[in-house]
Structure 1
Amino acid sequence: MRTLILGLTATALIATAAQAATYRLGGLEVAQPWSRPAAAGVNGAGYMTVTNRGAVPDTLTAIESPAAKKVEMHRSSMSGGLMTMQQVDSVLLPPGKAITFAPAGYHVMLIGLAKAQKTGDVVPATLVFKSGARLKIEFSVGMGPAGGAAPMGAMSMDHKNH
């Protein structure tokens, strides 16, 4: 029992530390990148907050990761009581503004995961910006900063038809 409690405490501390990660490059900042647990071969999702602390706009144009066959940026929106998702080619980052990638909004799709993402894992990624900046980050695999979210496999998210 004592070993179990120590193990759970260590896991919670590691997850909290990973979720609190902030990455900076010039005026660009990425805070709390995280991803839900997901099985190998299926799609995963990544979330984060990207802030442009610089004086000029920039644009997030791509995200790369060796953890998936393909990485895309998507945006979910509610219209007429229906949730829809569409791929976006880029995300504008106005100066002094934060753009949140979260469930039911902008999100990163990790398509065709090379291996299972388990709680406590990290998923390496590189964010590519129009300015030429390339920022390496790691998505912390867990249930997110708020906790309680369902793993990708438990959600009904069809990304084949858009």
Structure 2
Amino acid sequence: MTSRILVLLGAALLSTQALAQVSVTDPWIRATVPVQKSTGAFMGVKSAQPARLVEVRTEAAGRAELHEMAMDGQVMRMRRVDGIELPAGKPVNLASGGYHVMLFDLKRQLKEGESVELVLVVQDAAKKRQEVKVAVPVKPLSYSAHSGH
């Protein structure tokens, strides 16, 4: 009986360790003005194993979507995507002008200096899902990740 419990505990530790292999770097959300109902969230996401970012949730917005900005001829277009591939060990940058997160139907103004929790849902090759909670700082309207902070 004791050995069975140890095996189960060991398996639980290994599965927890396997799921905890997604990291997020430099997250930020653009601040809003009082009547604004949408904004963007940006960050770096890296998975140790091949995975796919499939969903984002937050209490601060009515809905959160994964988006991509891409050129369509001479026009830059933004469109919703069902997921973003996370190749094993390679960082994926969610940034203005490419893949990013859009927050719609904001429930309140997002002010510089506060933090908003996002839940990233990542799916592995076996279709198992992991939730990664991230406290994301709200940056000024004029902030750009490329401006040297």
C-alpha RMSD of matched pairs (Å): 1.9
2:20 paired residue number: 26
Paired residue total: 123
Secondary structure, counterpart of 2:59 in structure 1:
coil
Q: What's the CA shift for 1:41?
A: 5.1
CA distance in structure 2 between the partners assigned to 1:101 and 1:28 by the alignment: 14
The aligned counterpart of 1:46 is 41
**C-alpha separation in 1, matches of 2:85 and 2:66:** 12
Is contact 1:34–1:144 with CA below 8 Å preserved after alignment?
no
Call closer, same or farther: CA 1:41–1:69 in 2, change over 3 Å. Answer: farther
Counterpart of 1:71 (choices 64, 79, 86) is 64
1:133 corresponds to: 130
Distance 1:109 1:41 in 2: 13
* Structure with higher strand content: 2
Correspondence for 2:7: none
Residues of 1 paired with 2:81 and 2:72: CA distance?
A: 17
Conserved 8 A contact 1:71-1:109? yes
State the 1:130 CA deviation.
1.1
1:102 is aligned to 2:99 = no
- The CA deviation at 1:80 is 2.1
1:11 is aligned to none
Q: Which runs of 4+ in 1 moved over 6 A?
A: none
Gaps of 5+ in 1: 1-24, 149-162
Output the CA distance in 1 between the equivalents of 2:99 and 2:73: 19
Give the Cα–Cα distance (whole angstroms) in 2 for the partners of residues 145 and 138 of structure 1: 17
* One-letter amino acid of the counterpart of residue 103, structure 1: S
Tell me how far apart the structure 1 counterparts of residues 105 and 137 of structure 2 sit (CA, whole Å).
18
2:145 aligned residue: 145
Percent identity, aligned pairs only, is 32
1:35–1:144 Cα contact (<8 Å) kept? no
Instruction: Report the TM-score when normalising by structure 2.
Output: 0.76
Report the Cα distance in structure 2 between the residues aligned to 1:45 and 1:36, rounded to whole angstroms: 6
Higher Rg: 2
Q: Which amino acid aligns with 2:98?
A: G
CA distance in 1 between counterparts of 2:115 and 2:90 reads 27
8 Å Cα contact 1:38-1:116 kept in structure 2 = yes
1:9-57 residue CA offsets vs partner (Å, 9 max, x unmatched)? xxxxxxxxxxxxxxxx6221100110111135510110000011x2x31
